[in-house]
Amino acid sequence: MNSEAVWAQAAQQFQQSLGDSWTQAMQTFSGVHGAGMPAMPQLQFSPDKLEALQQAYVKEATELWNSGLSANPGAGDKRFASDAWSANPVAAFSAAVYLLNARTLLAMAEAADTDAKTKARLRFAIEQWMAASSPSNFMCLNAEAQKKAIETQGESIAKGVQNLLKDIKQGHVSMTDESVFEVGTNVATTEGAVVFENELFQLIEYKPLTKQVHERPFLVVPPCINKFYILDLQPENSLIRYLVSQGHRTFVISWRNADDAVQGKTWDNYVGEGPMEAIRVVREITGAKQLNALGFCVGGTILGTALAVHAARGEKPVASATFLTTLLDFSDTGVLDLFIDEPFVKFREMQLGRGGLLKGQELASTFSFLRPNDLVWNYVVGNYLKGETPPPFDLLYWNSDSTNLPGPMFTWYLRNTYFENNLVKPGKLTVCGEKVDLGNLDIPVYIYGSREDHIVPIGGAYASTKHLPGKKRFVMGASGHIAGVINPPAKNKRSYWTNDKLPESLETWIKGAKEHPGSWWTDWSNWLKPHAGKLVAAPKTYGKGKFKAIEPAPGRYVKAKA
């Protein structure tokens, strides 16, 4: 058989073997099994591309074979960085072969003659497949885990089995020592009280840390997909405490962890009974005509929709808005776009559109498998093969504290934002009885995006500047979706970039941007101060009138488990 025929057969086998990986990857991402799942595409390969791949593979395989059992498992891959791998010739050789095959499979995906979205789906499926099949994930191939088992006389194996049974019981892989943390005790500890609650949220008012506060209060709308205390993990990295320390009378929405009682709630409910109701209550408590507001991630999408409803009614209760890693324009959604198409959306609508819950564990698994080596298999190896207890880390504890969503709210959000991008189409959507148009939000806005964000790509964050007509400031921070946001000034870490001009493209903006060392929080604080009004005496009690303290912060809603 000639070489061209060999590689044509290899391409056919590649497609056949990829089928199971494709199915698993689609199911992992979407939670869909069966009718709503994207079918594995039929692939075609150019003979020239296959021949080039063959030559490259044979060359590298020959070099690897000629090196015998002195193969280098590959610099730069932390899975094989331990000396135990290089000291074990068989393990090193298996790792080197695995890495060669992984590179070749990804190259075959790139060589497939298909459209860009299908190619991206192929890459994702192969990455999931390769992450799961790494030699480091198996005790019989993991030299580091074997060495530890010998050194501990089998104790690491026994501890690994205990960890596995514990994680099976709790329903998710442990990313941190969850026994160390308790909400309200050593996370979410900024002092305050719940002053209002309804079916969907509790409103927390925080105790002032200054003798005077700005006359315009501040409302924070966190994502309902996660719990609000990502903004209040520890005193030294709490954005909420930072706001309070800057003299802002701060209120925060704590969303209810959805259960059967609210399984029929819609997007209209989340907008009208969420930030619109919170705005009403904050104004009544403080007596302020206007307040400032912040929305984080999907909380920003909900806030933006609420402000558009207010604008449609001729109301302007918010003086300025801050959008942190928020999508209003969903034309660039990164990896999350790969599997969203009409069959998938329709299936989800049939499944959840009239009621039910999108389970928090499904959401958590989806986001974890966007970075499978870091957020899944790393812990499988550490917890089960090495018998280690992951160290305490507040952010990963929060990441494991998942939340449910009502099905109708989720399916509306899925179709009208991620799939059809209707929020930026003036008058296309009717929310709370009003035609919404982001072009009516003529207020100052501060828009922040993280440079390495894989959930809200930096281009998606920047796209908001094209749809909001008021005076805008766009800032780009280093790192990802969470680490970029939670970057307190005291730690003096990372950088942020500013550019007073807002050209059409992000690339042009970046070329003209200036880098500043440290946290973007100080830039935001300086921007916010002129919008906050004059200083007045800080209140001595929580709430006002009929809005009295119900219970201490962080309240009971945030403590409910999915």
Q: What residues are annotated to the active site?
A: 297
Query: What does residue 197 show for φ and ψ, rounded to 5 degrees?
Result: -155, 150
Strands (E), 325-424: 357-358, 405-406
The 8-class DSSP code of residue 478 comes to S
Q: Which two tokens stand for residue 523?
A: 């830039």
Cα–Cα distance measured from residue 422 to residue 308, given in angstroms and rounded to the nearest whole number? 13
Q: Which residues, in sequence order, are CB contacts of 82 under 8 Å at separation 6+?
A: 143, 144
CA separation, residue 157 to residues 139, 150, 160, 166 (Å) = 10, 10, 5, 14
CA angle 553, 554, 557 (to 5 degrees): 125
Q: Which residues, in sequence order, are CB contacts of 150 under 8 Å at separation 6+?
A: none
Q: Do you find a cis peptide bond into 406, omega within 30 degrees of 0?
A: no
Which long-range contacts link 28-34 to residues 24+ away (Cβ below 8 Å)? Answer: 28/128, 28/365, 28/366, 28/369, 29/124, 29/338, 29/339, 29/366, 29/369, 30/339, 30/344, 30/366, 31/358, 31/362, 31/366, 32/344, 32/347, 32/348
